[in-house]
Chain A
Amino acid sequence: MKSLEELKAIREKMQGQVGLRAEDDTVTRVVVGMATCGIAAGARPVLAAFADGVQKKGLTNVMVTQTGCIGLCKYEPIVEIMEPGKEKVTYIKVTPEKAEEIIDQHLVRGQIISDYTIK
């Protein structure tokens, strides 16, 4: 069984670093639709791809969260990206592969992949 000792070690390592998150008004939010429609269409691996990808790239100013159904069920999995001071971008029919592209192009380089968006 995996021990809780490891968790204690993590705590000791991390404790000093908790305050490093960016301020709220500079945070980009990545919101994945996780209602029945989203989950049935494959939102779980998409959410995981964003969460893991953002961590791997060390994007501390990006927060990955979830939301319910926004009423566009046939376009699920839907991912909305909200950057402070910019218009919301809505990506549709997202897959884990597209998620990686979106992280690289949109979140890192600031270029919207308009092939995957809905207007």
Chain B
Amino acid sequence: MMTELSLNVLDVAQNSVKAGASLIGITVEADTENDRLTIVIEDNGCGMTEEQVKQVTDPFYTTRTTRKVGLGVPFFKLAAESAGGRFGIASEPGKGTKVTAEFRLSHIDRMPLGDMTETIHSLVTMNVDIDFLYVYRVDKREFTLDTREFREILGGVPFNMPEVSGYIRDYLSENKAETDGGVIL
């Protein structure tokens, strides 16, 4: 099991990386009025067939050859379903995949969201050729990190240069604090 939801996000987003996506969208939305936490991971990668989508939530299904279990998606599904939520995957070969996990925000078994800043930071700086669109929303406040915007400003300067990497971490943590007021989700 993962210890925080942001690790599930990192893990499931790795599937998008492996699917050859050029754009990965990650949305985290907390809605206190409706007691909901929704996480969406969406990519334009190679997608899956209907058959694969059915199998992917089965822990004993994996395409990898180094081990016989594939626990990433089942972990995320279990985390949602054991916290009064729902889990869904929509995918189309050649178009991409969309993973949606919903949680009851106040559910006693809901894992903490954890360090989303570190998750997004490592995705962006470790996959410099992929664009990420990260949206963090808490009730009516939100902020967005769009690497396409960053890329345009930076010209050829890569995201893993120390100064840029540091800027991205500060951008994420400062804007997060402004959006949620420091509340631990």
Of B71, B163, B164, B170, the most chain A CB neighbours within 10 A belong to B163
The number of chain A residues with a CB under 8 A from chain B is 31
Whether, in the assembled complex, B182 has its beta carbon less than 8 Å from a beta carbon of chain A, the answer is no
Q: Are A36 and B11 in contact (CB-based, < 8 A)?
A: yes
Q: A6-B167, A39-B11, A68-B18 are in contact. Are A11 and B154 (CB under 8 A)?
A: yes
Whether, in the assembled complex, B178 has its beta carbon less than 8 Å from a beta carbon of chain A, the answer is yes
- Nearest B-chain residue to A10, judged by Cβ: B163
Q: Are A7 and B165 in contact (CB-based, < 8 A)?
A: no
Q: Are B150 and A7 in contact (CB-based, < 8 A)?
A: yes
Whether, in the assembled complex, A85 has its beta carbon less than 8 Å from a beta carbon of chain B, the answer is no
- Residues of B with Cβ closer than 8 Å to A? 1-3, 7, 10-11, 14, 18, 64, 66-67, 70-72, 75, 118-119, 121-122, 125-126, 143, 149-150, 153-158, 160-165, 167, 170-171, 174-175, 178
Can you name 10 extra interface pairs (CB under 8 A) apart from A15-B156, A39-B10, A40-B7? A2-B175, A6-B167, A8-B153, A18-B158, A34-B14, A35-B72, A44-B119, A47-B122, A66-B126, A69-B64
